[in-house]
Amino acid sequence: MDESNKISLFQGKKGNLIKISSISLEGVMRRRLLDLGFVPGAIVEVIKKSPLGDPIAFRVSQTTIALRKEESMKIEGELVNHE
């Protein structure tokens, strides 16, 4: 895999598609994120950034979910090109 494509969800730009590879969180927060669809392999779209970049809205398995910086920084993936 091309390492240069690796970014955190927090670094994503509006419209980016990111394929999740790892979630560096533990406990209930990790559980919650997995339940919401932030699982390795899932493709997440960056929908909207608020003016200060926090929180950020993502589209994940057909639902829009906003994450705080604390979480989005700890979810990594690779940029997927638009077809």
Partner 1 sequence: MNNSYRIALAGNPNTGKSTLFNAFTGLRQHTGNWAGKTVSLAEGTVRHKEKNYQIVDLPGTYSLFSNSVDEEVARNYIVFEKPDITLVVLDATSLERNLNLALQVLEMTKNVIVCINLIDEAEKKGIKINERILTRKLGVPVIKISARNKIGFPMLLDTIDRLVSGKIECNPVQTTYNEEIEEKITTIESKISNLVGNTISSRWLALRLLDGDKALLTEFNRRLVLNDQVRREA
Q: Which two tokens stand for residue 21?
A: 């590879």
Residues 30-59 as x/- pattern, contact with partner 1 by CB under 8 A = -xx--xxx----------------------
Q: Shortest approach of partner 1 to residue 60 CB, angstroms?
A: 8
Question: What whole-number distance in Å separates Cα of residue 30 and Cα of residue 81?
Answer: 27
| Coil/strand/helix, residue 13 | coil
Q: Shortest approach of partner 1 to residue 56 CB, angstroms?
A: 19
Residue numbers at the binding site for partner 1 (CB under 8 A): 28, 31-32, 35-37, 61-63
